[in-house]
Amino acid sequence: MAFFYLIVDEEKSPADDAKIIAALANVGPRLTSPHHFTTTDDRVKNIAIVTGLIQKQFVRKEPPVLRHGPSLALDLRNSILRSRIETPRYEFKQGILRLDGQRPVEPNIGDKLVETACGISNLGPDSTGYIFIGVTDKPRHAERVRALDGIEPSEVGDRHVVGIDREAAILGISVEDYVGKIAGYFKASGLTEPLKTQLLSQIDAVLFQRHSVIRITIPRQSDVSFVNDIAYTRQLSSTEVAEGPRLRAITRLFPT
């Protein structure tokens, strides 16, 4: 409960695990034993004692640890299950590395992610969309990841969570730097505003059953979005250039 208070209510993150453990050494004698509780005040006092001992080792960070916690993991699971109903608004990538022996970065992966985000945003102003990196919608890709990287995918519906940790290790970078690499694709792109800025503020790392997954939120827009001078749209799970009659149809989706 002390951790819950500091992480959830205070939106803080543990700064030094070793110091937290040291602060809790021999705390037992200071606490009222559960076998001797007479009122809820005893429990509240115990939580206050523990909180007081460890709170100096928690600091406010942006983003707070909760953004990588249980609430996002639940959101991730729900999104994966819901994606079958709203297929065009969801895109799943197993990662940015090709699934061959050499494991090179997939050619033009940054452009593909940006174009996909643009296409999702142009489906209309009614709802939000998502890109997930570290999740595959093809069983054969999950099997290939298992064989190449020695990890056990987590099955959710007909999708498989394989995470990005394995690719970060291959690239020799941290998960945080991997997320930064993905953000860099969007920063350097010609994606129109305000979508570009909104999207960059909503890139999350979600820990799901020991796998780190990137969730990119594409918020609803009030106007057509472009990459440079080209508009994209979605046809089921495919991203396509929108031009001519299709572009005019997309424009009519957005009120003036």
Write the single-letter amino acid at 1: M
State the Cα angle at 38 between 34 and 39, rounded to 5°: 100
Distances (CA, A) of 130 to 40, 43, 208, 214: 44, 42, 16, 10
Q: Which CATH number fits domain 69-253: 3.40.50, 3.40.30, 3.30.950, 1.10.357?
A: 3.30.950
Element (H, E) at 23: helix 17-23
Cα–Cα nearest to 116, from 185, 68, 52, 49: 185
Domain coordinates of the chain in residue numbers?
2-63, 69-253
Distances (CA, A) of 249 to 34, 80, 191, 252: 66, 29, 20, 5
> DSSP readout, 68-100?
GSHHHHHHHHHHHHHTTTSGGGEEEES-SB-SS
Place of tokens 């174009």: 115
pLDDT, one tens digit for every residue, the chain (256 residues): 788 777 756 667 777 788 888 889 888 888 876 655 556 677 788 888 888 888 888 776 555 443 555 677 788 888 888 888 878 999 999 999 999 888 999 999 999 999 999 999 999 998 789 999 999 989 999 999 999 999 999 999 889 999 999 999 999 999 989 999 999 999 999 999 999 999 998 898 888 888 999 999 999 999 999 999 999 999 888 999 999 999 999 999 997 6
Whole-prediction pTM: 0.72
